[in-house]
Every structure is written in C-alpha cells, then in structure tokens.
Structure 1
Amino acid sequence: MAGTADSWLGRVVAGRYQVTGTLGQGGMGTVYEAEQLGLERYVALKVLHPHVARTPGAAARFQREAQLLARLKHPGAVHVFDHGADGEDLYLAMERVFGTPLHEVLESHGPLEVKTAVEVVAQVLEVLDAAHGLGIVHRDLKPSNVMRVGELSASSVKVLDFGLAALMHEEQHSRLTGSGQVLGTPAYMSPEQCRGEPLDARADLYSVGCLLHELLVGRAPFGDSPAVEVMSGHLYRPPPPVRQLRPERGIPEALETLVLACLAKEKAQRPASARELAARLRETLAPPAPARGEGKKQERSRAVTTTPAAPSPEVLARPVAVIEPGGPDNPHGIGTALAVAGYRVVSASADSSLEGMHALVVVPRSAQAQEEALTLASTLAARPHAPPVLLCGSGEDFSLMSRAVASGVYDYVPLPVDPTDLARKVGRALRSRR
C-alpha cells in the first residue's frame, strides 16, 4: 500500500521503477521521481492514493484513461510511457519534465510581459486543442500545472497532470453527491465545476481565462479570498477587468475582451474552441494603430474608467432588509455594520413583506442554525420579484456555500464578517437591481 514519502524512497515499483524522490502530492495521488531500471532514464511516477485506487471500477477506468493519455502526442503534453499495478497500488509512468512551474515564475518575477503571457497561454491552448480532440478535458489547469522550459523570453511550455483527468472527474462527482464536497482548485474552477456538473472543453477555457488573468496582473480573478468567496465569485460576480487592475501595463483592449469572454458564466458564451482562442489571442499582439491625435485621448479615457466607483448616494439610499435574530445585539452585528457604512437598513423577519426592499441579508442565529438560515434564504430568494438575497455563514463551510449559490442565493458572506467586504457585496447587489 502507498505510504509516506520516506517509505517509498528506494522502493522498486513493478520490478522496474526505483523511486528516488518526491515531486509533488495532490488529492488523487503522489508523484515520485523514479529511475527506470535498464533504460537508465528518469520518469515521473504517479501513484494513486489507496482510497482512490480502491473505489469500485477504479482499475478499469485507470487503464482506459492511461491508454487514452498515451495517444496524446503533442510536444507540450507530458508523454505517458507505461501504466499498471504493483500489488494494490496503481501507477502511471510519465516523462520527467525539468523546468519551472508558472506559479514559481510569478512568485519570483511578478506578472509576465504581455507578449510573453499571450504566447505562453497560446501554447497551452495548442496542447488543450490536441487533448480536446481526443475527448480529454484537463479539469485542473492552473499555474502549478504549467511548466516553463527554456528561457522566459523564448520558452516553451509543458502542461502537467493530464493524467487521471476522467478518473478525477468521476471521483469528484461521487464526492459531491455523497457529501457535498467539491474537489479542485477554487481559484481556477469554472462555474459549472463549482456546481458539480459534468465538464467539457469549455471548462478548460474558463480555467485558461483565470490563468491568463493571473499572468497579466499577478493574481487570479477573484484573488486570495477564502475559498467559499472565490467560488461565489465564479458563480455570480463579474470578473475585474485586467486593464482596470493594472492600467500601467498597457494591456490591449482586445486582449481584455478575450479574457472576459473566457470568464463568461455561461459556457455557451465562451470561445468555441481552444484553437480559435489561441488564434484570437495572437491577433491581439498586433492591434491596429490609433488615428493621429487619438492616442493621448484614449489614454485619458482609460485613466478615467480605471478608478473604481464608490457607491452612489442613490445606491446607499435604497433599503436593505436584514433578518438578524436579536437585532443590533446579534454577535455578528450585520445591521450595525451596514448602517455605519451608510446603508439604509430595515430590520425584518421571516414573515415580513419584502416589497420595496432592494436587497436582503439573512443571518443565522448561531453556528448551529446555519442550515435553518440556508433554508430561509433559499425560500425567500425563490419568491416572485424577490430582491437579491445574501446569506451569512461560516467561512470554512464549503458545502453550505455551494448549496446556497446553487439554490439561487445572490452571494455568500463569510463569518466572522469583514464590514468592508459586507458593504461591498451589498452595494453590488443593490446595483444589480437598477
């Protein structure tokens, strides 16, 4: 059985792969460096965690997936050499790639030059196009799964961790239906992945949008917030335009438009294919020259639009209903925080009429009453002509958040509350009622 990394060091797997070190570990398995005896070459050996390998039908699915991945012949894809079982352990032997993952590049150098970022992502899309042609969806594309090989100014890329994509999806689906948990990396998950729906190639294009956003501005679209808030952003909030976040970088408007197209909530609104997106991305590197005398005017126009607008007096004046058991004495102090921020707060109850209200915030009585609050918020959100409903709840409860947003709740406010974050989310809900 698979054990700790130290217990694997020196082990010979299937009589031909001697483990020499650990390369990484994830939710599905551990990747070791191993020497293939007889050939004297190093490989990356992925070994499934025992609980994954023991799931019904795992061995058959694993074999089918490995055979499919072996057909993926592209210079930017990690080549699969072999697969099999060693006792109860299922393994996949792959090309050992030497390079720097993009998350380390970002940590060391910050955002990439615009031209470099576009070319890197275009190369990733070429690999995805080859994979999608075989019916393979990556499902976990992120900076740590893209390796830069060669010099940064003229590098090529390797897309890692295609292995077990379908198996990961089946495991994710079973976990979702069984316990409400979501597997994946929240910062790069498409809305449909957040909801636990079946995924297709357009989910990868959403992740590409998140990746390109991070390469251009230094962070993913919804930042480093708690996972529940990040997932809520994917499901409900518009992504921040890259030129607004980094106006000094000179990002072309056409490139920003493509990033936002990738990040469309509805997958039908995203680019049609990886190949099409790669071609359109490269076209943005040669934008048409501005007409004479228009350059400075356009720069001034961009400068004006990049300043985030504060809530207007009109928005602040709109009534916000708060169902907060205990009123201002509630330990969460939601109503008080909104009132201090300048919002017009109306205390309400489950039986109150919401006519004339422009937003509603539901607060649980206690940590033990979160399910009751979710039921109430979902019921109120389903009313005809209901205002946007925001639910407060534990910042660590992924299940509560995912079920809330799936039931029609407009947004989720993690507790303990951050007054600035609360005011911003309520302001966004009010603006959506215009």
Structure 2
Amino acid sequence: MIARKYTLVREIGRGGMGVIWEAFDQVLRRPVALKVMTPEHATSDSARRRFEREAMAIARLRNEHIIQIYDYGIDEDCPYIVMELLEGEDLEDRLARERQLSPSATLALLRQIAIGLQAASSAGIIHRDLKPANVFLARKEPGESVKLLDFGVVWTVFESDEDQKGSFGRIIGTPSYMSPEQVRAVVPNHLSDLWSLGVITYRALTGRLPFAASGLGELLISICTDPFPPPSSLVPGLLPSFDRFFEHALAKDPAQRFQSARQFVAAFAAGIEASRGPTKILIVDDEQDVALLMTMQFRQKIRDGVYEFIFADNGEAALHELRRHPDIDVIVTDIKMPVMDGLTFLGRVPEVNPFARTVMMSAYGDMGNIRCAMNQGAFDFLLKPIERADLETTIEKTIKHVAELRRNARSDEENKILRQFTSAALVARIREVGPAIALESEAVMATVAFIDIFQFTPVTKQRLPSEAMRMLRANFEVIVPELVAKGGVVDKFLGDSVMAVFQGPEHLTRALSACVAVRAQMAAVAHRAGKNSPYAQGICIGLSTGQVLSGSVGSQAYGRLEYTVLGEAVNTAAHLARAALPGEVLVDTTVHEAAQGLFDFEEAGARNLLPGAPPVSVFNVVRLGPAAFPAAYESTVGIPATTTMR
C-alpha cells in the first residue's frame, strides 16, 4: 500500500528512475499506473528534484496525446507519481514485432505524436528522451491513441534551477535517438525532440536506425558527422521524396530542420503523395449545385486527368480532406457554412498545407467578409452566381501561382546546397552590402582565430583516406557551431585547420569567448567519446586582432576567386596556433593587453613563431573574466572554463 490509498497489483515496467506498477486507487475506486522511485535514486537530492519536475511538467500538459498525471507525493521518504493506466503496447514492441510500418501507418502515428510534441513545446517543455519505448499505442475506441511517456529527463525552458544547469556537459537521452546538439551537450530546445522524431520515423519506415555503430564513441561521431543511407535505397518502392524529407528531418544544423511538429507531419504527408498526378482542387460549400457546376464546367479536364476535384460541405470536413490529400493546390470555399465557416477554415489551412491557396466564394452583398478574407491571406475571390469564364481564369491563375511557389521552394533547396560550397564570409558580405559592392576590397578591424587539430598529419598516414577525412569532419562539426554562435564567420578550412573571422562590435571579446567555448566542448566530447576517438587528438588555437584587408583574390580570367581576409593578424593567428600545445588558446601581447579584466590569462613563456626569428612572449587564455560575459560560460556549457586537453 502506497500513501494508504494505492494498492500495488503488479509490476508493469521500469523507467530511468523508477518502477511502474499497476495499482488500485482505494479512494476513487479506479485502476491507475503508479511510478515509485527506486531506493538508490531516492537518496539523491538531484534525482528527487528531477522526479518531481517530471510530475510537474506532465501535470501542466493536459493533452490527449500525453499521459495524464493524477497525483504526486512522498511515502516513507520515497517519491511516487500516479498516472492514468494504459492498455496496449509501446512503439518499440510494435517495431520489434513488425519491423517496418507502411508510410500511411507511420503518418497516422506521427499526426498524434506531433500534437503531443506541439503541446509540450508550446508550454516550454522539451522531452529529451523521445524514442519508440516512450511512444505508447493505447487501445481505445474506435482505434489506437498515441500517448507520450516518461518525461524523466525533461527540460523546462522557462525554469532555471541549479539542477537543470548541472545537466550541461552530461550525455542526456538514449544515444541512438540523440541529436547532434545533445551529443555536444548544449542548451536543449524543441528541435532536438524533432530530430528524435526523425530517427523514430526513419526506423519505422526502414526497420533500421539511420546512424549505427559498434560503440558509444563511434555512434556519437556518426550522429554528428556521417550521412544516413537514403531510405529509398533500403526499401524497394519507397519514393525518393522521402529521401528529401529526411534531409530536413535529420539535418545536422538545427536551422535546416523542420521548425515545428506541424511542419514535420505536413512534409511527411506530402512525401506520401509526391508522385503528382492531376492538379487537386478542393471545393468547400454546403450547396449541392456548386459541386454539380464544377463537375460540368471541367468535365473534359477531369476526363483527361488534368484536374481532380474533392468536395466537402463545411470547413471541418475540408480540413479532414486536406489531411487526406496533402498535395491539394487550390481551395475554393464558401464563407457561410455550418459547423465551421469559411473564414475560420481559411485561418487553419496554412498549418495543414502551406502551399495551397484559397479562393473565397460569396454573394456580392457580403463584400465585408470577402475583404476580411483577403486581409487574412485569401488568394482571390469569386462572386455568386459564379460566371464560368471567371471561374476558369481564377483557378488557372491560382494553379500557376502555386506552381511558382513550389518551384521557388525547390530553388531554395538548391541554393542551400550551393551555400555549403560558397564562402560564408562572402555570403555575409553580400547580405550586408549587396552583390554590387560585395567584392570590393576594404580595410577593417577584426579578430582572427585559427583552430588546428593537433598532429593530424600522422593520422592521414595511419588511417584509410575515408577514415581520416571522417575524423577531421567529426572535429569540425563540434568546432564550427561554437564559432558561429558567437558571431564568427568561418573564412575557410585549411587542411586540418579552421580559420574564423570576427568583425563588428566587441569582435575581440566574442572571438576569445568562442575559442574558450570550443576548447571546453572539444574536451567534453573527447571525454564522452573515449581516448581512442577522433576528438582525443586535441586542438591548438591561435588568436590575433588588428586591421585586415578583406576582398576577393585569385584569377578572374579563369573564374577562380576566393573572398578572404589578409594581414598581419591573420599570419600571427596562424603562427600562434602552430606554436600552441593541445588545449591552449595562445594570444600575443596585443590581445593580452586589450582583453585584460575581460579574460584571465597565464603566461605561456616564449615561443618560436617563425623559423629563425627570436622567441616572443605569448599568453594562454584560461577562462572568461567577470567583466566579459558574466556566468556565460558555465550557464551555457556547464564545463569549467579551465578544462584543457593536455
């Protein structure tokens, strides 16, 4: 008996911190699920706070697709949580039995998972351990209902207690479903949960994980560095459109992923029907003669397979049809309808289908509502009684507009690929001043940092070429996000070195803090991945500041130009990096004097920066000082700034 009211019946599962029992509530006379904290965790104050936070987080989420909390308490110094009792199986058991699911079956699950994730994200709650075992398929009338379980490692965006801060730098979650940013142990957000959902979806469709390795260290490297096998290469008959879907869902860069659960599901639904046939047009009106008019007016195009019409008699039914047919291009809807009117429906269309465009229909006397609809984003309008020529022209115009939207979307995808092979400095320059003067040379004040992988050249001789390049990319995947986060621009990759340039306000302070963060992140990842991992090589950093020349260099005649920066600060930073030992961030006297008070330094002695030149005094950056970014490092990375890799 727990708390003198819950009778334990049988053990039904185990979570990260507790044992889950089927129990009976003696007061309310109903069966419940009861999670009791294990004795070994009950003695830990931090574990108890996490357990309590799990209860509080789920209790805030009153959503049909998240397991509901009934009660929380402490019995004989042992915390417990009382939840609704579910019957069914989790997705892990389903996949173990069936191995693969069809795209339509997967979509049915994703729609429900997305509702739960969207509710959690809106409340500022990140699950951090989304996996098939935490997706429960509850048996209900008339079918299954998905429930998200086990928020035991939940992160709450709007709360900032010491226990949450202490989770930085630790590996949180189930490794196979962790996002690259979880591997790097940075501040979590809802995009990490969407990555995990992408892994779940990939496994459901293909029967295998996108990233698999023999050991934890190799798995972490694979998640951060390796491409995944295209699903269409694993499952015969799976459309290539799913390959493009997963390029977004499992993008290493969070900014390239779907930005919401709704976008995720809408894109997956579009992938199911990507082999486009006739242009689909949805007609929404409760008047039967409108359906007859459309069928008669376009009977030849329907017969030729040019148009396909879908009909609904109110907004609610139309939303259902939009979900069933995610490739609908044109919607023609009346304004006044039962159940859900046209204006309400218009506001709901973008969340289901971002490409579809809506044409409103109404009588001439209802111009006020038509004006309101146009202000809400309607593409065009038709007046009743409908003129056939006006109807044809309006639909054709709308179809052309949607086709242009889709072409632009494809062009954006192509541009994203091109940007991967274009100088980030040039892209930033074009955005700042425009293409006309972007290539003009100028003198600017800047800070330049070189981050070298220590003694990587011997690795290229000891490993296969593919293995050596993979190791190098694994290091860069950790280094680059920290540089970009502080406003740095990766000017170029020089073999096993990264050259980053910081310009604008406080460029020196931002560059120094970025280098300190890079060093700490590399140390943390090396510790987690093991001494034989690519990260164990260590990094050497050199940093200098001053005036540099920026502009394009190369051969214009042969079409080979590169946008870069030149000057003494560039050369000095490169020499300092070569002279640095693993884990050192070396700076010269100029930087040391300029950043006094902002950062703590230690003398690193005299080093030879150039062959034949006399040694010069250099300094190692130890940590951020109190005047730089107060508590910025510990609060965002959670690893002491003095951590080095010696």
* TM-score (structure 1 length as normaliser): 0.62
For residue 254 of structure 2, the aligned residue among 262, 267, 283 is: 267
Matches within 5 A, 1:209-228: 209-223=198-212, 225-228=214-217
Matches within 5 A, 1:97-116: 97-116=86-105
Would you say the 8 A contact 2:153–2:172 is kept in 1? no
1:76 Cα deviation (Å)?
A: 1.4
Residue 166 of structure 2 aligns with which residue?
174
Would you say the 8 A contact 1:141–1:204 is kept in 2? yes
Q: Which amino acid counterpart does residue 146 of structure 2 have in structure 1?
A: V
Tell me, which stretches of 5 or more residues in structure 1 are unaligned? 1-11, 293-319, 328-333, 346-357, 363-373, 390-396, 410-434
Q: Which amino acid counterpart does residue 172 of structure 2 have in structure 1?
A: L
1:244 Cα deviation (Å)?
A: 1.7
Matches within 5 A, 1:240-259: 240-246=229-235, 248=236, 250-259=237-246
Tell me, which stretches of 5 or more residues in structure 2 are unaligned? 279-303, 305-455, 480-491, 499-526, 540-646
3-state SS of 2:202 partner: helix
RMSD: 4.0
Matches within 5 A, 1:290-369: 322-323=458-459, 338=464, 359=469
Matches within 5 A, 1:55-134: 55-56=44-45, 62-63=51-52, 65-134=54-123
1:229-273 CA distance string (max 9 Å, x none): 222111111222211222x1x223333322221111111111111
For residue 142 of structure 1, the aligned residue among 128, 131, 134 is: 131
3-state SS of 1:92 partner: strand
Residue 369 of structure 1 aligns with which residue?
none
Q: Is 2:31 aligned against 1:42? A: yes
Q: Which amino acid counterpart does residue 255 of structure 2 have in structure 1?
A: A
Residue 198 of structure 1 aligns with which residue?
187
For residue 276 of structure 1, the aligned residue among 259, 263, 269 is: 263
Residue 160 of structure 1 aligns with which residue?
149
Q: Which amino acid counterpart does residue 269 of structure 1 have in structure 2?
A: Q
Residue 232 of structure 1 aligns with which residue?
221
Would you say the 8 A contact 1:232–1:401 is kept in 2? no
Residue 18 of structure 2 aligns with which residue?
29
1:38 Cα deviation (Å)?
A: 2.7
Q: Which has the higher contact order (CA 8 A, sep 6+)?
A: 1
Q: Which amino acid counterpart does residue 495 of structure 2 have in structure 1?
A: A
3-state SS of 2:65 partner: coil
1:80 Cα deviation (Å)?
A: 0.6
**Percent identical across equivalent pairs?**
32
1:284 Cα deviation (Å)?
A: 2.5
* TM-score (structure 2 length as normaliser): 0.43
CA distance in 1, matches of 2:94, 2:64: 21
Q: Which amino acid counterpart does residue 252 of structure 2 have in structure 1?
A: K
Residue 295 of structure 1 aligns with which residue?
none
Residue 386 of structure 1 aligns with which residue?
495
1:142 and 1:58, CA in 2 relative to 1: closer, same or farther beyond 3 A? closer
3-state SS of 1:284 partner: helix
Q: Which amino acid counterpart does residue 165 of structure 1 have in structure 2?
A: V
Q: Which structure has the bigger radius of gyration? A: 2
Would you say the 8 A contact 1:102–1:146 is kept in 2? yes
1:126 Cα deviation (Å)?
A: 1.2
CA distance in 2, matches of 1:214, 1:235: 18
1:406 Cα deviation (Å)?
A: 9.4
Would you say the 8 A contact 1:99–1:149 is kept in 2? yes
Structure with bigger strand share is: 2
Aligned residues: 316
Would you say the 8 A contact 1:101–1:148 is kept in 2? yes
More displaced, 137-146 or 118-127? 118-127
